[in-house]
Amino acid sequence: MDDPGKPRSSWLDRLSAFLLREPEDRRELVEQLHAAFERNLLDAEALGMIEGVLSVSELTVRDVMIPRSQMNVIRHTDPIEQVLPPIIASGHSRFPVVGEDKDDVKGILLAKDLLRYFLNPGHFRLDEVLRPALFVPESKPLNLLLREFRASHNHLALVVDEYGSVAGLATIEDVIEQIVGDIEDEFDPEGEDDIIPVKGQRYRVNALTSLTDFNRYFDCKLAEDDIDTIGGLVVSRLGFVPKRGDVHEDGPLRFTVLKADSRRLFTLLVEKFTPTHGS
C-alpha cells in the first residue's frame, strides 16, 4: 500500500523506471518507448517529440531546406522604397541580401532593422544593418545544425552544395518542426509549391497535395476509392499512420516520411527509382 505521506512520482520518474533496462540499440529503445505509451506512461504528443529528437540525427539539412528557387531575397542595389512593399506583404522576418545573383550573399536583413529607415530615411544605409550570413553544407546533420543555431544565435542559414553554390536556406523552425510537428511559419510552401524538386530525382511533397495534381506532375495513375490526397493514399496503403523515416514504395516511386505526428502526415520525400525485379 502506498505511503500517503510520500509524494507521488512524476511521469518522468515512472518512465525512467520503465526504461531502467538499457536497450541494446535504437530500435529496441523505440520499442520500449511505444510500450511505455501503451501503458500510459507518456502521451502521444510526448512520444512523437521523443521520436522526433531521435530522428533529427538521421536527417540532413538537404532534407528540410527551402530550395534556391523558392528563396525570397533582396537585391543589394534596390532602393529601400522599392523593396519595402514586398517585405511588408510577405510577412517574413529575415531576408538574404544578394548582389549579382543568389550566390553573391552580402548578409541577412532583419525586418525589424528597417525601423531605423522610418526614423531617419535620409541617413539609412543597408550595409550598416546587415547581419553576417551563416553558411552550412547540405550534408550537415540536422542535430549539428541545431547546435550551431544555438551557438551562433542565428535563426537562418544559407545552404551550399558541394561546389559552393547556394542550394537553398534552412531556418531553426525547419529543425524544430522535426521534433514538435508542423509549425505555421513564413517559409512553409503553399499552393503551387506543393511539389518542390530537391535534387536529381527527389521531390519534397506536401502530404495534402491532391492525387490529381500528383499524378499529373509525376505522370502516373495512383488512385484509391475515397482518397483525395497523396498523404491519404500512403496512409491507406500502409494501413497505419507512419512516423518520420518510414518508407513506402509504389512502382517506380519511393515515399519517405519527412514530417508527421501521431495523427497525420505533413511532408513526404518522393524519389523516382528503378524497382529491382523479384523484390
Confidence class for position 3, pLDDT limits 50, 70, 90: low
More confident residue, 53 or 144: 144
* Residue 177: per-residue pLDDT: 77
Domain 189-279 belongs to what architecture?
2-Layer Sandwich (3.30)
More confident residue, 105 or 277: 105
Residue entry with cell 520499442: 31
* Residue 189: per-residue pLDDT: 46
State the span(s) of the chain assigned CATH 3.30.465.10: 189-279
Q: What is the mean pLDDT of residues 42-69?
A: 78
* Residue 157: per-residue pLDDT: 94
More confident residue, 28 or 249: 249
More confident residue, 118 or 132: 132
Q: pLDDT above 90 covers what percent of the chain?
A: 22
Question: Is the pLDDT at 137 greater than 70, yes or no?
Answer: yes
* Residue 267: per-residue pLDDT: 86
pLDDT digits (tens, 9 = 90+) for 70-80: 888 889 888 88
Distance in Å from the first CA to the final CA of the chain: 57
Question: Is the pLDDT at 187 greater than 60, yes or no?
Answer: no
- Among the ranges 171-185, 220-234, 249-263, which has the highest mean pLDDT value? 220-234
* DSSP assignment string, 136-201: EETTSBHHHHHHHHHHHT-SEEEEE-TTS-EEEEEEHHHHHHHHH-----TT---GGGSEEEEETT
Contact 220, 251 (CB under 8 A): yes
More confident residue, 188 or 225: 225
Measured on CA atoms in the order 102, 103, 107, 108, is the torsion positive or negative?
positive
More confident residue, 223 or 179: 223
Contact 107, 131 (CB under 8 A): yes
pLDDT digits (tens, 9 = 90+) for 197-252: 876 678 889 898 999 999 999 999 888 778 889 999 999 898 888 887 788 998 88
Question: Is the pLDDT at 261 greater than 60, yes or no?
Answer: yes
Taking residue 199's Cβ as centre, other Cβ atoms within 10 Å add up to 12
Question: Is the pLDDT at 106 greater than 60, yes or no?
Answer: yes
Tell me the pLDDT of the chain averaged across its residues.
Answer: 80
* Residue 218: per-residue pLDDT: 92
Domain 65-184 belongs to what architecture?
Roll (3.10)
State the span(s) of the chain assigned CATH 3.10.580.10: 65-184
* Residue 66: per-residue pLDDT: 85
**Nearest Cα residue to 98 out of 46, 36, 166, 160:** 166
Predicted TM-score (pTM) of this structure: 0.56
